[in-house]
Amino acid sequence: MVSVPRDSPSAGGDTGRIRTSTPSGGTAVSAAPAPVEQTTHARLIVSTHRSALLRVTLRYRADDPLAVRMVFPAEYALEAVGASDGPLGALPDPADDPFGEAAGADGVDGVEWVFARQLLASGLDLPSGEGDVHIRPASGRRTVVELRSPEGVALLQFDRAELRRFLWHSHLVVPEGQELRHLDCDRALAELLA
């Protein structure tokens, strides 16, 4: 996995192997592009006067070339609707864990949202999205990501440059317009039918 440090303009390196069929019916083994993972911070907007800063892990994998993943600390899951502290229910006290490091920072215990890489790219410049994920530019250098579920709505503000940097690294792994060349249709179909 390529972990993108905050001060690094580039990512590199390959890990793993991919088996592909050759025209003669055999198999060839080639290096798989390393996944991209970037940790950043987002501000969860609860009300006009209340927000919480949390750590978010952005992920991209060449074996799922059309999608990006955002992993949030588990304690920010949209499951507490009806609590008295706001539309998302009770939030943890940011003073106890201001960056969400106690759970979910590594994605193991986090809540993962998966959506189209193109949606993220489009939403940086103009309002985009239908359904559960909406992304739009905000004032200054911010981008708002709105996540909707039956349990509630989460509004998150990101630094636009951080999202652009993540997308730039993902395009190094799989260039825009080349996603279908990296898509394993058999695996994708098996996952849909499972």
- All domains in the chain, ordered by first residue: 35-193 (2.30.31.20)
Over residues 131-172, the pLDDT tens digits come to: 999 999 999 999 999 999 888 899 999 999 999 999 999 999
Per-residue pLDDT, 26: 54
d(CA 66, CA 82): 35
Over residues 60-71, the pLDDT tens digits come to: 998 888 899 999
d(CA 175, CA 35): 13
With beta carbons less than 8 A apart as the criterion, state whether 106 and 176 touch: no
SS (H, E, C) 67-120: EEEEEECHHHCCCCCCCCCCCCCCCCCCCCCCCCCCCCCCCCCCEEEEEEHHHH
Regions of the chain short of the pLDDT cut 70: 1-32, 78-109, 178-183, 188
Per-residue pLDDT, 115: 95
Closest CA to 163 of 76, 35, 58: 58
d(CA 173, CA 186): 21
Angle (CA) 81 83 86, round 5° = 80
Please enumerate in sequence order all residues whose Cβ is within 8 A of that of 51, keeping only pairs 6 or more positions apart, or say none. 43, 44, 45, 157
Reduced to 3 states (helix: H, G, I; strand: E, B; else coil), residue 57 is strand
Which backbone phi and psi does 76 adopt, to 5 degrees?
-100, 15
Which backbone phi and psi does 165 adopt, to 5 degrees?
-65, -45
pTM, whole model, 2 decimals? 0.68
With beta carbons less than 8 A apart as the criterion, state whether 33 and 173 touch: yes
Reduced to 3 states (helix: H, G, I; strand: E, B; else coil), residue 47 is strand
